[in-house]
Structure 1
Amino acid sequence: MSSSYILPNAIPAPGLVARADSPFITCLKPLGAKVLQRNTSGFEKNRYAFDLRYTYYPEVVVMAASAADVQVAVKCAKASNVPVAPRSGGHSYEGYSIGGEDGSLVLDLTGLNSVAVTGGSGGSGSDPRAKVGSGIRLGPLYLALFNQGGWSLNAGTCPSVGIGGHTLGGGFGLLSRKYGLLIDSLLEIELVNADGDLITVGPYDNPDLFYALKGAGGGSYGVVTSFTFKPVKPSAKATSFTYDWPISQASKVFKAYSDYQATASRDVGVELNIGADGLEMYGIFQGTKSAQAAALAPFLNAAGAPSGSDVREGRHIDGQLRFAYIYGDPTDINALNLTGPYKPGDSHYTKGKSLVYPSALKSSTIDLLKKWGGMTPKGATASYIIVDLWGGAVQDIPENSTAFIHRNAHTVFEFISEWDENPDAKPGKPDCVDCLKWMDDMYAAFLADFKSYGPVRGYQNYIDKEIPNWQDAYYGSAITRLKKIKGTVDPGNLFRFPQSIPLK
Structure 2
Amino acid sequence: MRFSTRSSSSGGASALILLVSQLTNALNLPAPATLELRQDLSPLAANSTLLTCLQPLGSKVLQRETPSFEKNRWAFDYRYTFKPEVVIMASSTADVQTAVKCAKASKVAVAPRSGGHSYEGYSIGGQDGSVVIDLSAFSSVVVSGKTAKVGAGVRLGPLYYELHKQGGWTINAGTCPSVGIGGHTLGGGFGMLGRKHGLMLDRVIEMELVTANGDLITVSASKNPDLFYALRGAGGGSYGVVTSFTILPIKPAKKVTSFGYSWKYEELAQVLKAYVNYGSWRDMGLGFSVTADGVGLSGLFHGPQAHQAAAMAPFLKLVPKPKEADVRETSNIESVLRFAYMYEDPKDIEALNMKGSFKPGDSHYTKGKSLVFPAALKNSTIALLAKWGNKVPEGSSANYILIDRWGGAIEKVPVGATSFVHRNAHTVIQFVTEWNGNPDALPGVPDCKACLDLMNEVYSDFLADYKVNYGPVAHGYQNYIDSEIPNWQEAYYGSAFSKLKQIKAQADPENVFRFPMSIPLK
Q: Distance in 2 between matches of 1:251 and 1:41?
A: 53
Question: 1:208 maps to which residue?
Answer: 226
Q: Distance in 2 between matches of 1:286 and 1:132?
A: 25
AA aligned opposite 1:116 = V
Change (3 A) 1:297 1:345: farther
TM-score computed with the length of structure 1 as normaliser? 0.95
Kindly state the Cα deviation for residue 342 of structure 1 after the two structures are TM-superposed: 8.1
Cα deviation digits, residues 236-259 of structure 1 (max 9, x gap): 001111100111100001100011
| Preserved CA contact (<8 Å) 2:60 2:88 | yes
Q: Does 1:315 align with 2:331?
A: yes
For 1:51-450, list aligned pairs within 5 A.
51-119=77-145, 128-260=146-278, 262-266=279-283, 268-326=284-342, 328-340=344-356, 348-450=364-466
| Preserved CA contact (<8 Å) 2:259 2:326 | yes
AA aligned opposite 1:113 = S
Q: Does 1:466 align with 2:466?
A: no
Q: Distance in 2 between matches of 1:21 and 1:397?
A: 46
Cα deviation digits, residues 60-104 of structure 1 (max 9, x gap): 000111111101100000000110011111111111010001000
Q: Distance in 1 between matches of 2:216 and 2:333?
A: 34
Kindly state the Cα deviation for residue 225 of structure 1 after the two structures are TM-superposed: 0.2
| Preserved CA contact (<8 Å) 2:76 2:363 | no
Q: Distance in 1 between matches of 2:79 and 2:98?
A: 30
Residue 25 of structure 1 is aligned with which of 51, 56, 62? 51
Q: Structure 1: where are the runs of 5+ without partners? A: 120-127
Question: 2:34 maps to which residue?
Answer: none
TM-score computed with the length of structure 2 as normaliser? 0.92
Q: Distance in 1 between matches of 2:428 and 2:326?
A: 25
Cα deviation digits, residues 259-283 of structure 1 (max 9, x gap): 12x33201x1010000111111111
Kindly state the Cα deviation for residue 430 of structure 1 after the two structures are TM-superposed: 1.4
Change (3 A) 1:345 1:199: closer
| Preserved CA contact (<8 Å) 1:325 1:345 | no
Question: 1:453 maps to which residue?
Answer: 470
Kindly state the Cα deviation for residue 338 of structure 1 after the two structures are TM-superposed: 2.1
Q: Distance in 2 between matches of 1:27 and 1:471?
A: 35
| Preserved CA contact (<8 Å) 1:87 1:97 | yes
- Sequence identity of aligned pairs in percent? 62
Cα deviation digits, residues 278-319 of structure 1 (max 9, x gap): 111111111000111111222221122111010000111111
> Is the partner of 2:370 in helix, strand or coil?
strand
Question: 1:492 maps to which residue?
Answer: 510
Kindly state the Cα deviation for residue 21 of structure 1 after the two structures are TM-superposed: 9.0
| Preserved CA contact (<8 Å) 2:256 2:301 | yes
Kindly state the Cα deviation for residue 19 of structure 1 after the two structures are TM-superposed: 4.4
Range that drifts further, 73-82 or 318-327: 318-327
Change (3 A) 1:296 1:71: same
| Preserved CA contact (<8 Å) 1:328 1:342 | no
Q: Distance in 2 between matches of 1:264 and 1:220?
A: 36
Q: Distance in 2 between matches of 1:137 and 1:424?
A: 22
Q: Does 1:10 align with 2:15?
A: yes
| Preserved CA contact (<8 Å) 1:326 1:342 | no
Cα RMSD for the two superposed structures: 1.6
Change (3 A) 1:328 1:28: farther
> Is the partner of 2:54 in helix, strand or coil?
helix
Cα deviation digits, residues 14-48 of structure 1 (max 9, x gap): 14232499221011111111100001120011011
AA aligned opposite 1:264 = W
| Preserved CA contact (<8 Å) 2:74 2:360 | no
Q: Distance in 1 between matches of 2:210 and 2:192?
A: 31
Change (3 A) 1:184 1:11: same
Aligned length: 491
Change (3 A) 1:437 1:484: same
Range that drifts further, 289-298 or 147-156: 289-298
| Preserved CA contact (<8 Å) 1:92 1:463 | yes
Question: 1:501 maps to which residue?
Answer: 519
> Is the partner of 1:100 in helix, strand or coil?
coil
| Preserved CA contact (<8 Å) 1:347 1:422 | no
